[in-house]
């Protein structure tokens, strides 16, 4: 950790913090028991497997989002294609992620366990693209060169709410097709329009790609609130918009959320690109820098983030949505990777640096000290691991009456003082 000069704080940080209690949030836990078998059975549907011909080279696109069963689903997809006589290979379809380099994107996939040894197919990464068409306003529509030159393309992705806009189609196969498969060049062209236009631009661009590239089908996944795979469905091009719209509705119903809607300080132990495109999910925090509708709850005064996840490899995109961080997090930032990501997205505020405090304890104390209209010791504090891990959370004592009355929450432990080490490190969930 780098040396930090003492920060002058009027009145210091001798702040009374409330006791915290462990609480369980209850969500629908419906899931698929045998995910590989479900993938294979979906690809064996007559209308799906009829698109695959023996000898075809097929590019299987994998993204950079943290999907629990992603390596298993990719391997099952590769295996099913091989059984049909095809010659699949895997390629990264992740826009500008991985530092916008081929080696960086291949490394991201390897971090998820997606490598030739595991999935049974080569991994081919390039940042080169082919312009396959253009929109009416002459915006180029680009596709990964390896994918375009293959005989067929299959995309695998999770379908979920987006972090910056609301529409019938948000984050999923369509977005991966246009922005992920478009690499940094295609992603940049699309982000020029702004996320507020994605509801219109993404389906239009996807239509062009499906008309001018060998897209065979997609494998759409929906996860429940426990990050377990709840739905796997193979989707043909002609049904893509209809089915992704329907699966997004199911994804929103199944996703985890914070069931307490008024929070003074939200403490997150970690953030990262595999957790959310914005490091931590506005669908959970209620904080969206784009002023988009649909992100009104929970109402949070201050957000504290303590660290970057190992999987994010220093990419701190979205950090600007926090109020306070730790010096440890600050020192772990890979600025080239972060800047590449935010520049491509056009949301430069995603790389803004919040106030960095020397320890976890001081970061939380600063957030509490700067609350408005909150009495000493009465702060409504929630601690979570990250925005994907919401089953077990810590809540402060002033919130417990609401926990008692909520049908989907239950108390696990009695309130106790916040557990800091002598060095000011917060005990993790």
Whole-prediction pTM: 0.84
User: Is 354 in contact with 293 (CB distance < 8 Å)?
Assistant: no
Shared domain for 186 and 320, answered yes or no, is no
Shared domain for 383 and 304, answered yes or no, is yes
Please tell me the predicted confidence (pLDDT) of residue 222.
Answer: 97
pLDDT digits (tens, 9 = 90+) for 40-80: 999 999 999 999 999 999 999 999 777 899 999 999 999 99
75/81 Cα distance (integer angstroms): 10
Strands (E) in 63-209, as ranges, are 87-92, 129-134, 140-144, 152-158
Is 49 inside a domain boundary? yes
341/313 Cα distance (integer angstroms): 13
39/231 Cα distance (integer angstroms): 10
- Token pair for 177: 């097709």
Distance of CA 154 to the CA centre of its chain: 21
Please tell me the predicted confidence (pLDDT) of residue 393.
Answer: 98
Please tell me the predicted confidence (pLDDT) of residue 361.
Answer: 97
Shared domain for 318 and 359, answered yes or no, is yes
Please tell me the predicted confidence (pLDDT) of residue 1.
Answer: 42
Q: How many domains does the chain have?
A: 2
Please tell me the predicted confidence (pLDDT) of residue 291.
Answer: 64
45/84 Cα distance (integer angstroms): 12
Please tell me the predicted confidence (pLDDT) of residue 292.
Answer: 65
Taking 50 as the pLDDT cut, the residues of the chain under it are 1
Choosing from 208, 233, 254, the residue where a domain stops is: 254
- Single out the residue of 182, 159, 174, 171 nearest to residue 251, CA to CA: 159
Please tell me the predicted confidence (pLDDT) of residue 289.
Answer: 65
Please tell me the predicted confidence (pLDDT) of residue 196.
Answer: 85
Q: How many residues does the chain have?
A: 429
- C-alpha distances (whole Å) from 33 to each of 80, 223, 229, 231 are 19, 13, 9, 11
Q: What is the CATH number of the domain that holds 61?
A: 3.40.50.11440
Shared domain for 266 and 354, answered yes or no, is yes
Q: What is the DSSP string of 85-153?
A: T-EEEEEE--TTTGGGSHHHHHHHHHHTT-SHHHHSS-B-----EEEEEE-TT--EEEEEHHHHHSSEE
304/122 Cα distance (integer angstroms): 41
Shared domain for 162 and 241, answered yes or no, is yes
Shared domain for 320 and 178, answered yes or no, is no
Shared domain for 268 and 241, answered yes or no, is no
Please tell me the predicted confidence (pLDDT) of residue 288.
Answer: 77
Its domain, for residue 334, covers 20-27+256-411
pLDDT digits (tens, 9 = 90+) for 262-284: 999 999 999 999 898 889 999 89
- Token pair for 124: 């081919």
31/193 Cα distance (integer angstroms): 37
């Amino acid at each position: 950790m780098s040396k930090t000069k003492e920060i002058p704080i009027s009145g210091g940080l001798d702040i009374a913090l409330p006791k915290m209690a462990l609480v369980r949030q209850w969500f629908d836990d419906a899931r698929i028991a045998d995910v590989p078998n479900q993938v294979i059975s979906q690809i064996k549907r007559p209308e799906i497997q009829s698109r695959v011909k023996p000898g075809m080279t097929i590019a299987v696109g994998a993204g950079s989002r943290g999907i629990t069963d992603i390596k298993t689903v990719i391997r099952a997809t590769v295996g099913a294609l091989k059984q049909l006589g095809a010659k699949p290979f895997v390629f990264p379809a992740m826009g500008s992620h991985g530092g916008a380099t081929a080696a960086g994107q291949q490394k991201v996939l390897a971090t998820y366990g997606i490598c030739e040894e595991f999935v049974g197919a080569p991994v081919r990464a390039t940042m080169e693209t082919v312009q396959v068409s253009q929109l009416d306003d002459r915006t180029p529509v680009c596709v990964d060169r390896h994918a375009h030159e293959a005989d067929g393309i299959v995309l695998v992705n999770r379908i979920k709410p987006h972090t910056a806009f609301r529409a019938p189609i948000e984050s999923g196969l369509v977005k991966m097709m246009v922005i992920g498969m478009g690499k940094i060049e295609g992603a940049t062209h699309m982000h020029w329009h702004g996320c507020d236009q994605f509801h219109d631009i993404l389906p239009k661009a996807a239509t062009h790609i499906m008309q001018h590239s060998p897209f065979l089908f997609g494998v759409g996944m929906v996860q429940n609130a426990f990050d377990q795979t709840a739905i796997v469905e193979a989707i043909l091009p002609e049904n893509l918009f209809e089915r992704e719209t329907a699966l997004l509705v199911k994804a929103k119903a199944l996703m985890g959320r914070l069931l307490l809607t008024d929070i003074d300080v939200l403490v997150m132990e970690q953030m990262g690109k595999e957790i959310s495109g914005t490091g931590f999910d506005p669908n959970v925090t209620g904080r969206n820098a784009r002023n988009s509708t649909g992100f009104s709850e929970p109402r949070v005064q201050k957000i504290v983030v303590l660290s970057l996840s190992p999987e994010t490899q220093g990419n701190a995109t979205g950090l600007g949505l926090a109020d306070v961080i730790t010096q440890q997090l600050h020192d772990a930032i890979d600025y080239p990777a972060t800047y590449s990501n935010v520049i491509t997205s056009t949301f430069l505020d995603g790389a803004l640096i919040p106030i960095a405090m020397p320890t976890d304890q001081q970061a939380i104390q600063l957030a509490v000290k700067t609350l408005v209209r909150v009495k000493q010791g009465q702060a409504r504090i929630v601690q979570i691991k990250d925005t994907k891990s919401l089953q077990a959370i810590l809540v402060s004592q002033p919130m417990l009456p609401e926990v008692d009355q909520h049908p989907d929450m239950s108390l696990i432990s009695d309130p106790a003082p916040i557990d800091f080490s002598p060095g000011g490190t917060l005990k993790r969930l």
